[in-house]
Structure 1
Amino acid sequence: MRRSLQWVMYVAIKSIVVSCLLLFISGLVQAQQQDQSVTTFKELTIKSDWLGYPTPETVKSHPGARTVITNKELTESGARTVEDALRNVPGVRVFDESGTGILPNIGIRGLSPLRSEQALILVDGIPVTLAPYGQTGLSLFPLTMNAIESIDVARGGVAVHYGPNNVGGVINFVTKRIPAKKTMTIRETLSLSPSTERMLADSYIRVGGFVNDKLGLQLQGNFINGDSIRAHSDTQVTNIMADVNWYPANNIDIKGSLQYYKTKNNLPGALTPESYKQDRHQSTRPLDRFTGDTLRGSLIYNQYFDNGAEFSWTNFAHRSNRQFFFGDALNADDTSTLERSSPREFLVYGSEPRLSFYINKGIKQKISIGARYMREEVDYIVDARDLLTNEFSVARDWRFGNHAFAAYISDTFFLFDDKLKITPGVRREQVYLDFRNNQTGSKESNPTKDWLPGVDIGYQITDAIFLFGNFHESLRPVQFTQITFGGAQAAERADNFEVGLRLTPLQNIGVNLAAFRIDFDNKLEFVSQDVGFRNLGKSRHQGIETEFTWQPKQIDGLDLRTGYTYIDTEQRSGQFKGNELPLAAHHQLNFWANYSRADWNWNLNGLYQSKSFSDGANTLIENEEGSIGRIPSFWVWNAQITRNFRWDKRKIKAGLAINNMFNHNYFFRGVDFSRGRMPAPGRTLLFTAQLDF
């Protein structure tokens, strides 16, 4: 049965790959046969998707807190990594585990950022997580920022349409669309550390366009090589993406994508407080490294009807491998003899049809219906090798599987000339996890079945005032490793409440306010190796998010923004009842200033993060290892100057940026096996040049 399922998934992935390649070949043939002129093309967007295509305009009417980072903003701020890109989003916190951007850890609204396991991360609306139901941690992050056009961060009102694991919201990375005209882009970014003279090269090339009014092709390649500011940080990344858009009819849109991502990296790891004070750029973990690769494909069919109905069918699959190698920190003889590793292999397939249509009799309504099936298979091994004796042992050899079924429906009521929109909805999740220990033959299973209701309300009172509110129930299924201890664990569930407003008192001033509360129930906590995981935890997250924008009329081209987030968390059961949750800073302050004049652009952005605890016990005093203790507050400032000009009718963009311009020393605590202080990158110079043909 296992081999037959693997064969079916392999055929699914292979079919997507072959389809994409055939479309590419046919397009290239047509490009040679047809005239070089290009028909003006209007991009169709999927409106049956609840969020729709992310633009500043769609944000204005979304019934929840939401931020869209445009391509212009990504370019102006010199965002090379996910941490750079999300730094100015209220309520979002990012830790860069590697120092080179390949392993970001993302948290939303005080939820744990470690491995991004409590945030739903999408790429073009498709889950990027290795096992979206059974292992939500992102221990492989197959994404490079050069391929991204915009980022959509929806922090409220999404659970019905996007479950599971969306307690804090959804972050959707939208890749670059195929350009209407044939275009070629070459971009090079060099990141240089003045203090250590280490350099990282980020090379990007893109070729694409519509060969006629029916077929568009695009190929992107991103290659990262070099070192971060720290020792033992050699990084190699290859990210190749191919896209096809085919319009066989005026109302039909077929999109295919194929991605191959591979990374091989040394990991500098965490430091003890003593080592950190000696030299925060050193590494005391010479055996730590990471490898990973993934082959991903998707095929999406969209059809639009004259009566306003829309149908889409999304299919996706991936086969992924990732492996951490790690050893003990250096001993007195500067040697480590035991190397452990944790190889994982993932095979995932998903299919999701969606239909939306209008009812115009009586009260105008828009009904959206969708369903999803997902199959996950994971091989989970932990082994060790003694480098002196070459003795090899396997501590764990586990096999996990999952069948997940979901269905949802929502109904939007349009009242008062479409100014008031009320959208009740419900989602049904059925998840069947199973586990087999290949060493002992023991088996466990864990089913999750639940109804997840929600309601979203948006009211455009005047052109200048938009009010919103929403309530959703969401869940995070029991994870694969949590069922290995047996017992009847229940999925983590949460009630999400949110209210807010968007205010534009003047054309050049904008104010966004949101208040939220998350009541977490059945939170799974690790007790001990003897007891395992148990549903001990309840927690409460609440806070406010504010954003203020201003474009002074007296200074044309100046854009000022600031945001403040306050988060209050509490553990409401278990051993540490009454304490704050780990890694949930109370205060976050963002600042952004951008000035454009003629072909020049100046950008300054900053982030303040207040103190936070690193453990549930709220330990203040740091231990000798550096694995627990309060994490200090920090300020970090980035600046970039960009110049646009032309050479021989070609567009050229050049940029000079300074990240962490004041070289502030700050850190967070290590992840998984690497315990201690994890230094954040110091002052870094970025030189960027982009050429468009």
Structure 2
Amino acid sequence: MRANFQRAVHTAIKLVFVSNTVLYSISGLAEQAGSEKNASRKDEPEKTLEEVAVSADWLGPATSKTAKKHPGARSVITHQEISESGSRTVEDVLRTVPGVRVMDESGVGFLPNIGIRGLNPLRSEQVLMLVDGIPITLAPYGQTGLSLFPLTMNSIESVDVARGGVAVHYGPNNVGGVINFVTKRIPHKPSMTFKETLSVFSGGNLLADTYLRTGGFVNEKLGLQLQANILNGQTAREHSRTEVGNLMLDSHWLVTDRSEVKAGIQYYKTQNQLPGALTPKSYEQDRNQSTRPLDYFNGDTVRGNLTYNHFFDSGAEFSWINFGHRSSREFRFGNSTNADIPSTNEQSAPRDFKVYGTEPRFTFHLNSGIRQKISLGARYMREEVDYLVDSRSLATGAYNVTRNWRFENDAYAFYLSDTFMLLDNKLKITPGIRHEQVDLFYRNNLTGAQTSNPARDWLPGLDIGYQASSNVFLFANTHKSMRPVQFTQITFSADLASERAKNYEAGIRWAPSANIDTTITGFRFDFDNKLEFVNQLVGFRNLGKARHQGIETEFAWRPEPVPGLELATAYTFVNTEQRSGQFMGKELPMAPHHQLSQRVNYRSGNWNWNLNGLYQSDSFSDGANTVTENASGSIGPIPSFTVWNAQVTHKSRWNKKTITTSLGINNLFDKDYYFRGVDYSQGRLPSPGRSAILAIQLDI
């Protein structure tokens, strides 16, 4: 297996260097053959398209400037902020975003668990995850759990987090909001980046992160880019060998001055040992040990996308997005959930996915007394999933298939929104509506039993943004959200209804001076028929009513007496309540009341100093709010913790090349903290201890 990844590394390096040579050669020939007139035309189409293309998307470009005008709570983490903070995983990147909780199951970053505003983060089931506006989940309607995260942070330019209701434009499963990972754009001039990052853990274990990128416009019409990222090594914990490979090829064709085609293809593969959870006894003995030698995770995916954009002279825009993937992932594990009890069987849960989606969208303007921007869109998505669970006796080798299920899903949606621009564009009111039709089919290949579950729903929404003055922006919104019945839930009952929630949000952004930015947001969402698991005989029922409410604050200050210094803090208070069922009146699990993040960044010449920290209050791991930990560690409180990261970065020039070096320390004070395990691995799941991060980047 390791040899295969070594070959992948060598192949990726060859591809990057060869493609880089080709890009420079073609670009050079184009420059020699082109005239000054062609050279000027070369700049104009890209600039024109870049300004126009983004407005058809409801969120618009992932920039801090755009986020400040969004009629809802929204945070954008820029490429500069990611680089300066030394963020290696998605947990590091999202640490400073208010209301977002990330628990890394692997310790390396390939299995993040993400929740927003008190929603259960396990498997990231209740957050809509996108890459360049395209759903990243293996089955965005039928299995919203993110059990394969086909992304590496080096390929990311920025991260856009829109919390609250955006259901009209982005579909189901976004009661907590949308997280959009924006990948690196194709540069106009051919360029190349090489980056090597070494993470050094206690005991001397190393994790190497090798990244190469080459790309640019080979002529005035065509841009190409290749990215290759390889992770290989081991963390401080035993049984944590990690191998990840990520190859991405993107293209951008400027068909005319008014139209463009963007296409991309990705191959992602991961093969990993999972150290798993520990019992309290084992945790106290050595938190870096592993008592689950049978636990592994493997996954791979081939993903493709094709987008056509056309921009009319009238300002209207047409966009047609097509995407699909063919993926597989497999967990292998022992049959004992208590890590201190040896397993008698080895089990595996392989899944195969085939998904295709298409989404046309048309946006145009009206000016009949009142300026309006109208968006019309539709989506069709097809999901096919083969779902197996099997086991093998460790004593006899006997093999048995316990589940062999087939799921199919056809989802149709259309949506309409109309933005009214009033008071000289200072007030924007956007009512909208979305209709979802989801037809879910299930067949048990072992018994021949089959059933279906159709779902229909209207999702209305209203967004209001008001520029009250040059430094005050007010916003409010309300949306209805839904999460369709999941594949595994239909195996118990065919008459389940989708989970539904109502979102409410209101806030103010205030910039009293050019050096201060503040935001205060109040939010609430109510589930009225949340799906709850009763027991193995009954299965799931629409029993659940739940309430999430709270407040978020953000503050950033760049003091004038100290140029280059920036201080930022974000605080979130969340209160949750189960409002029906056995545990009515108790808090929801995995929903800490308090979250406080802080960031200090200082730029001076070629140097940058960064210190960032996160405080998370304690929470319960179960709906019963159990305060006494059980023997396996699967149930009990999740203690509060505070963790700090620090990094110093230096940039220099050598032979017309930029060299960036950095030294960072994650978990600066070696804080000992954990959360409770996921799925098959129950108990205390340790978070990574102190590690040193060394990185060097060469930009050509």
Same topology, TM > 0.5: yes
Q: Decide which of 271, 275, 280 is 1:273's aligned counterpart.
A: 280
Query: What 5-or-longer segments of structure 2 have no aligned partner?
Result: 1-18
Give the Å deviation of 1:30: 5.2
**How big is each residue's C-alpha offset from its partner over 1:284-306, in whole Å with a ceiling of 9 and x where there is no partner?**
00000000000000000001111
Q: Spell out the pairing of 1:445-464 with structure 2 (5 A cutoff).
A: 445-464=452-471
Provide the rounded CA distance (Å) in 2 between the counterparts of 1:390 and 1:208: 51
Q: How does 1:9-158 map to 2 (within 5 A)?
A: 31=27, 33-35=29-31, 39-40=42-43, 41-42=46-47, 44=50, 45-158=53-166
CA, structure 1 residues 660+309, in 2 after alignment: closer, same or farther (shift >3 Å)? same
- For the residue of structure 1 that corresponds to 2:440, the secondary structure is strand
Q: CA RMSD in A?
A: 1.7
Task: Give the number of equivalent residue pairs.
Answer: 670
2:693 maps to what in 1? 686
Q: Cα–Cα, structure 1 residues 691 and 332, in superposed 2: closer, same or farther, change >3 Å?
A: closer
CA distance in 2, matches of 1:331, 1:175: 40
Maintained 8 Å contact 1:284/1:329: no
Query: What one-letter code is carried by the residue in structure 2 that aligns with 1:386?
Result: S
Change beyond 3 A, Cα 1:680–1:439: same
* TM-superposed deviation, 1:212: 1.4
> For the residues of structure 2 that align with 1:329 and 1:277, how far apart are their CA atoms?
20
What is the DSSP-based 3-state SS (H/G/I as helix, E as strand, rest coil) of the residue aligned with 2:592? coil
Provide, for residues 60-89 of structure 1, a one-character-per-residue CA deviation record: whole Å limited to 9, x for no partner. Answer: 110000000000000000011000000000
Distance in 2, matches of 1:333 and 1:672, equals 17
CA distance in 1 between partners of 2:20 and 2:607 (Å): 38
Q: Secondary structure at the match of 1:341?
A: strand
Q: Is 1:614 aligned to 2:621, yes or no? A: yes
Q: Shift of the alpha carbon at 1:229?
A: 1.8
Match of 1:6 in 2: none
Q: How does 1:369-448 map to 2 (within 5 A)?
A: 369-448=376-455
**1:177-219 CA distances to partner (integer Å, 9 max, x unpaired)?**
00111001000110011x2211100000001001112110000
Give the distance between the partners of 2:494 and 2:584, measured in 1 at CA: 23
Does the CA-based 8 Å contact 1:103-1:140 persist in structure 2?
yes
One-letter amino acid of the counterpart of residue 383, structure 1: D
- Is 2:625 aligned against 1:629? no
- Helix, strand or coil: the match of 1:637? strand
- Once the two structures are superposed, residues 508-552 of structure 1 have per-residue CA deviations (whole angstroms, 9 ceiling, x without a partner) of 011101000000111001111110111110000000000001000
CA offsets, 1:478-514, max 9 Å, x none? 0000000124111000000000010001110111010
**Does the alignment pair 1:287 with 2:294?**
yes
Residue in 1 that maps onto 2:4 = none
Preserved CA contact (<8 Å) 1:637 1:659: yes
1:184 corresponding residue in structure 2: 192
Distance 2:339 2:56 in 1: 62
CA contact (8 A) 2:278 2:339 kept: no
For 2:21 and 2:667, the matched residues in 1 are separated by 46
Aligned-residue offset at 1:390 = 1.3
The answer on whether the counterparts of 2:338 and 2:632 sit within 8 Å (CA) in structure 1 is: no
User: What amino acid maps onto 1:81 in structure 2?
Assistant: T
**1:119 to partner: Cα distance:** 0.2
Residue identity matched to 1:83 = E
> Which residue in 2 is equivalent to 1:360?
367
Tell me how far 1:29 sits from its aligned partner: 9.0
The AA in structure 1 aligned to 2:331 is F
1:658 maps to a residue whose letter is: I
Q: Which amino acid aligns with 1:623?
A: N
Of 264, 284, 289 in structure 1, the residue corresponding to residue 271 of structure 2 is 264
State whether structure 2 residue 347 is matched by structure 1 residue 351.
Answer: no
Contact residue 196 and residue 230 of structure 1 kept, 8 A: no
- 1:311 has 2:307 as partner: no
Q: Deviations over 1:355-407 (max 9, x none)?
A: 10000111110000000000000000000011331110000000000000000
Structure 1 residues 294-333: Cα deviation after superposition (integer angstroms, max 9, x where no partner)? 0000000001111110110000000000000001469999
Q: Structure 2 CA distance, aligned partners of 1:223 and 1:513?
A: 40
Q: Is contact 2:452-2:494 (8 Å) kept?
A: no
Preserved CA contact (<8 Å) 1:121 1:127: yes
Change (3 A) 1:24 1:690: closer
Distance 1:32 1:441, change over 3 A: farther
Counterpart amino acid of 1:414? M
Would you say the 8 A contact 1:27–1:215 is kept in 2?
Answer: no
Do the aligned residues in 1 keep the contact of 2:335 with 2:347 (CA within 8 Å)?
no
For 1:149-171, what per-residue CA distance to the aligned partner results, in whole angstroms no more than 9, with x for missing partners? 00000002411000110000000
Deviates more, 1:46-55 or 1:473-482: 46-55
- Asked if the contact 1:285/1:329 (under 8 Å) is kept, the reply is no
Equivalent of residue 561 in structure 2, options 554, 563, 574: 554
On the 8 A contact 2:168/2:479 being kept in 1, the answer is yes
Indicate if the aligned counterparts of 1:285 and 1:330 stay in contact, CA closer than 8 A.
no
Contact 2:266 2:303 in 1 (8 A): yes
Equivalent in the alignment of 1:5: none
Counterpart amino acid of 1:280?
A: R
Structure 1 equivalent of residue 680 of structure 2: 673
TM-score by length of 1: 0.95
Q: Which deviations, in whole Å up to 9, do the C-alpha atoms of 1:626-675 show, x marking residues without a partner?
A: 00100000000000000000112110000000000000000000000000
CA distance in 2, matches of 1:509, 1:676: 44
- SS of the equivalent of 2:283 reads helix
Determine helix, strand or coil for the equivalent of 1:262: strand
Q: Is the 8 A contact 1:285 1:328 kept in 2?
A: no
Letter in 2 for 1:105: N
Corresponding letter in the other structure for 2:197: T
Question: Hey, what's the Cα distance between the residues in 1 that align with 2:320 and 2:341?
Answer: 56
